[in-house]
Structure 1
């Protein structure tokens, strides 16, 4: 399965977190939000240039595009 940044997914797509790139602070913040390797994530909306709204572990989270690009996912969940 293909590994892509979270920003490459279309609304409605399901994926699993493969890895999180970036510094310690970004990695820790994303982990606090539940974005850890193996977690299932569904993109709810992703406006061009705007935030990415995802559902993960029963919660909805809005991520800025820069932060969402640090999350690498494997398509298909």
Structure 2
């Protein structure tokens, strides 16, 4: 029986502050996937959760670039701990 990314990963929206994670899957539609990959948030990318804001929003960073993501978008990015 093989393990899928959904059983080993969790939504980015659930990640703790000051934690490094790796993107294992993008669960959104084609336009969301395109938008995220254009921002450099591809499957396999390592990102840091810098700050949690309000009702599930996050500030993340990849390299020197920081991004603010809402809860909906962060929920569609599956990650695993680095």
Match of 2:61 in 1: 55
TM-score normalised by length of structure 1:
0.89
Is contact 2:13–2:57 with CA below 8 Å preserved after alignment? no
Q: Which has the larger radius of gyration?
A: 2
CA distance in 2, matches of 1:48, 1:10: 14
Aligned residue among 3, 8, 15 for 1:9: 15
CA distance in 1, matches of 2:11, 2:64: 21
Q: CA deviation at 1:32?
A: 1.0
Structure 2, unmatched stretches of 5+, are: 1-7
Aligned pair count reads 75
Give the direction of change, closer, same or farther, for the CA distance of 1:50–1:30 in structure 2 (3 Å limit): same
Query: Where has structure 1 moved over 3 Å in runs of 4 or more?
Result: none
Is contact 2:53–2:59 with CA below 8 Å preserved after alignment? no
Structure 1, unmatched stretches of 5+, are: none
Partner SS for 1:10? coil
TM-score normalised by length of structure 2:
0.84
Aligned residue among 22, 33, 40 for 2:39: 33
